[in-house]
Structure 1
Amino acid sequence: MRDMIAYCGLDCEKCDAYLATINDDQALREKTAKLWSELNHAPILPEHINCQGCRVDGVKTVYCESLCGIRQCARQKGVTTCGDCPELESCQTVGAILSNNPAALDNLKG
C-alpha cells in the first residue's frame, strides 16, 4: 500500500493541503483555507494549510495532526491503515468517509 494513502483511505496526493505544501502554492493555500473555513465554520488561515501526508513524517494540518479521530484510532491500534483493522466494515469512525468516498474503501482494500 502506498504511503500516501491516509489511515481512512483518502489519497493524500489528491488533497489540496498536500498539493499546496509540496508545490509551495500560496494561491492554493488561500483558496483551500477559505473553502475549509466555510465548510467547517471555523477560522482556517492559509498558514494552516501545510501537510505532507497523514502517515508520513513531516508537517500536518492541525486537524490531521491533532483532531482527526480516525488517525488517532489507527495509531492507537497500531494499524497501517483502517484497512488492516478487523472492525473496518462496522466502524462508525471511518464510516462517514467511506460512505462519501467509495475510492477510499477501494484504497484500503487494494
Structure 2
Amino acid sequence: MKNMIAYCGLDCENCDAYLATVNNDQELRKKTAKLWAELNNAPIFPEHINCEGCRVDGVKTVFCDSMCGIRQCAMKKGVNTCGDCSDLEKCSIISTILENNPSALINLKK
C-alpha cells in the first residue's frame, strides 16, 4: 500500500488540501477553505489548508492532525491503516467514510 493512502483509506493524493500544499496553489486553498467551512459550519481559512498526507511526516490540517477520530484510533492501536484492524467491518468511527467513499475500502483491502 502506498504511503499516501490515509488511515481511513482515502487517497491523500486526491485531497484538495494535499494538492494545494504540494502545488503551493493559493486559489485551491481559498476554494477548499470556503467549501470546508460551509460543510463543517466552522471557521476554516486558506492558511489552514496545508497537508502533506495523513501517514507521513509533515504538516497536516488541524482536523487531520488533532481532530480526526479515525487517525487517532489507528495511531493508538498502532496499525498501518484501518485495513489492518480486526474491527474494520464493524467500526462506527470509520463507517461514514466507507459508506460515502467505496474506493476507501478497496484501498484498505489492497
State the TM-score, normalized to the length of structure 1.
1.00
Secondary structure at the aligned position of 1:66 is classed as helix
* Structure 1 unpaired stretches of 5+: none
Percent identical residues: 74
Name the counterpart of 1:104: 104
Query: Number of residue pairs matched?
Result: 110
Q: Deviation per CA, 1:53-104, whole angstroms, max 9, x where unpaired?
A: 0000000000000000000000000000000000000001001100110000
Which residue identity does 1:19 align to in structure 2?
A: L
Gaps of 5+ in 2: none
1:11 to partner: Cα distance: 0.2
Moved over 4 A (4+): none
2:73 counterpart residue number: 73
Root-mean-square deviation (Å): 0.3
Q: For 2:11 and 2:26, locate their aligned partners in 1 and report how far apart those are by CA, in whole Å.
A: 21
Once the two structures are superposed, residues 5-47 of structure 1 have per-residue CA deviations (whole angstroms, 9 ceiling, x without a partner) of: 0000000000000000000000000000000000000000000
Alignment match, 2:63: 63
Read off the aligned partner of 2:98 and give its amino acid letter: L
Q: TM-score, normalised by structure 2?
A: 1.00
SS class of match (1:92): coil
